[in-house]
Amino acid sequence: QKEVEQNSGPLSVPEGAIASLNCTYSDRGSQSFFWYRQYSGKSPELIMSIYSNGDKEDGRFTAQLNKASQYVSLLIRDSQPSDSATYLCAVNPSGTYKYIFGTGTRLKVLA
């Protein structure tokens, strides 16, 4: 069974701080990794995609991938109350069409 694991939280950080969200996956051959943000009652919206080992930055967001450790993370710099949401890690395992989602980490940014 191919799995994606996340700490469900909530992760509480003060406004302006760095939020660090983590995800591990079981399928070693996975090639595509994604972070989505989901507000309550809404559909997931893509924040970042990452395909290669290392860091990828986009504005206040940095995704980090370590395939050897089967670990992907998302850093949010200068966290804002509007960043309060559930962050979903998604992986496309090798040899499949499906994308597997973790349970999500609920982030609360305190003003």
Chain positions contacting other proteins, by CB under 8 A = 31-32, 34, 38, 41-46, 49, 51, 88, 90, 92, 96-104
Least separation in angstroms between CB 4 and other proteins? 9
Least separation in angstroms between CB 105 and other proteins? 12
Pick the closest to residue 32 from 60, 4, 1 (CA basis).
4
Nearest residue (CB) to other proteins, 27 versus 104: 104
Nearest residue (CB) to other proteins, 25 versus 34: 34
Kindly report the backbone phi and psi dihedral angles of residue 17, in degrees, each rounded to the nearest multiple of 5, phi listed first. Answer: -85, 175
Kindly provide the b/e burial profile for residues 64-82, where b requires at least 16 CB atoms within 10 angstroms of the residue's own CB: bbeeeebebbbbbeebeee
Nearest residue (CB) to other proteins, 73 versus 86: 86
Least separation in angstroms between CB 14 and other proteins? 26
Nearest residue (CB) to other proteins, 17 versus 49: 49
What is the Cα–Cα distance from 22 to 105, expressed in whole angstroms? 8
Pick the closest to residue 19 from 37, 43, 44 (CA basis).
37
The vertex-77 CA angle with 43 and 100, nearest 5°, equals 35
Least separation in angstroms between CB 13 and other proteins? 22
